Amino acid sequence: AQRVTQPEKLLSVFKGAPVELKCNYSYSGSPELFWYVQYSRQRLQLLLRHISRESIKGFTADLNKGETSFHLKKPFAQEEDSAMYYCALRTGGGNKLTFGTGTQLKVEL
């Protein structure tokens, strides 16, 4: 069965410091990974997907099939990055997403 693991419930960094939010997955098929973000009092929204290989708001994530990981990275954290981040795995032929438990990122001044 598919599974997404985000080992950190809370990650606290100082403004300007690098950020890495960890995500590991288990899935026997060909995975498609996403990062969703939920800012305070806002809706859950897509941040980025691995197939796009793009940088959004300075964040990047690379799919490492050998390590079954899809860590989210940003070289310099900003205060506005404070939010809840969820890693999600799309499986099968449909659009079913399996979410991790989320990591709360807090960027301190």
Calculate Rg over the CA atoms of the chain. 13
**Identity of the residue, 17 or 46, whose beta carbon is nearer to another protein in the bound complex:** 46
Q: Does 83 interact with another protein (rule: CB under 8 A)?
A: no
- Give least dist CB 66 to another protein, A: 24
22-30, 63-71, 72-80, 84-92 -> range binding another protein (CB under 8 A): 84-92
CA 81, 103, 49, 60 torsion-angle sign: positive
Q: What beta strand segments (E) does the chain contain?
A: 3-5, 10-14, 19-21, 24-26, 32-38, 45-49, 60-61, 72-74, 83-91, 96-99, 103-108
**Identity of the residue, 15 or 96, whose beta carbon is nearer to another protein in the bound complex:** 96
**Identity of the residue, 57 or 96, whose beta carbon is nearer to another protein in the bound complex:** 96
According to DSSP, the residues that pair with 34 across neighbouring strands are 49, 88
10 Å CB burial of residue 73 (0-12, 13-18, 19+) is middle
- Give least dist CB 97 to another protein, A: 7
15-23, 43-51, 54-62, 64-72 -> range binding another protein (CB under 8 A): 43-51
Contacts with another protein by CB under 8 A lie at 4, 9, 32, 43-46, 86, 88, 90, 93-102
